[in-house]
Amino acid sequence: MSISISFLERVSLGCFQREAENMAEDSGVDAWNSLKPKVRRPICVMRRVGCSQSSLHLQTLLLGISEQIFGELQPSRCQEIEFASTCEYAEVVKVFAQALALPTENRPVCIIIDDIHNLFPHTQVSLFQWLPFHLLSAHVKLLLSTNLHSHGTNFGSLFGPETVVTLRGFCQFSSVHRMYLASQLCPESDKWHDFVEQSLELNSTPLYLHTLRIALNSGRFSTFNAVASTQELSVKLMRLVQEALAKDYVKSAFVRLLHYLALSRMGLSVKEMCALAELDSEIKATLSSSLDGGRLPLGKLLQVLTQKDQLRGFGHFLTVARVDGKVIWRFTADCYRTALLQSVGLGTAADSEYSQNEEENFLNSAQTTLKAQQYHALMLEFWSGKLKSSVRNDTLFWPCLKHSLHAGNYPVSTAQGYNINRRKLTELPFQHVKMGSSSIRSLLANIICSVDFLYAKLELTKSPNELLASIYFCRLIPELRSHPEMDMMLLLLRQLSERLQADPISLPAELAGRLGHLAGSDDNSLLGTQLLLSIDRLILKSSVKYLPNSIPA
Secondary structure of 15-37 as H, E, C letters: HHHHHHHHHHHCCCEECCEEEEE
Question: Any bridge partners for residue 346, and if so which?
Answer: none
Do residues 39 and 23 lie in contact, with contact meaning Cβ atoms separated by under 8 Å? Answer: no
Do residues 30 and 38 lie in contact, with contact meaning Cβ atoms separated by under 8 Å? Answer: yes
The pLDDT score that the predictor gives to residue 504 is: 84
DSSP state of 170: T
| 383/394 Cα distance (integer angstroms) | 8
Which amino acid does the sequence have at 496? L
DSSP state of 368: H
512: Cα within 13 Å, side-chain hemisphere:
15
| 204/126 Cα distance (integer angstroms) | 20
Do residues 509 and 532 lie in contact, with contact meaning Cβ atoms separated by under 8 Å? Answer: no
Do residues 449 and 436 lie in contact, with contact meaning Cβ atoms separated by under 8 Å? Answer: no
End-to-end CA distance of the chain: 29
Q: How many CB atoms lie within 10 A of CB 85?
A: 18
| 403/392 Cα distance (integer angstroms) | 24
Which residues, 6 or more positions from 258, have their beta carbon under 8 angstroms from its beta carbon?
A: 304, 314, 340
Which amino acid does the sequence have at 516? G
| 68/402 Cα distance (integer angstroms) | 29
The pLDDT score that the predictor gives to residue 228 is: 66
Q: Is 210 left (phi over 0), alpha (psi -120 to 50) or beta?
A: alpha
The pLDDT score that the predictor gives to residue 361 is: 47
Secondary structure of 108-153 as H, E, C letters: CEEEEEECHHHCCCCHHHHHHCCCCHHHCCCCEEEEECCCCHHHHH
The pLDDT score that the predictor gives to residue 313 is: 93
Domain ranges of the chain: 3-163, 397-546
Three-state SS at 57: coil
The pLDDT score that the predictor gives to residue 469 is: 83
Do residues 301 and 329 lie in contact, with contact meaning Cβ atoms separated by under 8 Å? Answer: no
Which residues, 6 or more positions from 387, have their beta carbon under 8 angstroms from its beta carbon?
A: 279, 378, 381
Listed residue (89, 137, 88) closest to 111, CA to CA:
137
The pLDDT score that the predictor gives to residue 405 is: 53
Question: Any bridge partners for residue 164, and if so which?
Answer: 144
The pLDDT score that the predictor gives to residue 243 is: 92
Do residues 229 and 307 lie in contact, with contact meaning Cβ atoms separated by under 8 Å? Answer: no
Q: How many CB atoms lie within 10 A of CB 22?
A: 11
| 301/303 Cα distance (integer angstroms) | 5
Spans of the chain, pLDDT less than 70:
1-40, 53-54, 84-88, 121-123, 129, 131-136, 168-192, 225-228, 290-294, 348-368, 401-416, 520, 522-524, 539-553
The pLDDT score that the predictor gives to residue 3 is: 42
Q: How many residues does the chain have?
A: 553
In tens, the pLDDT along 41-86 reads 888 898 888 777 667 778 888 888 988 999 999 888 877 777 766 6
Is domain 3-163 classified as CATH 2.60.120? no
The pLDDT score that the predictor gives to residue 349 is: 43
In tens, the pLDDT along 289-308 reads 765 555 778 888 999 999 98
Which element (helix H / strand E) includes 62?
A: helix 58-73
Question: Any bridge partners for residue 113, and if so which?
Answer: 47, 144
| 378/435 Cα distance (integer angstroms) | 10
| 52/9 Cα distance (integer angstroms) | 19
Secondary structure of 425-463 as H, E, C letters: HHHHHHHHHHHHHHHHHHHHHHHHCCHHHHHHHHHHHCC
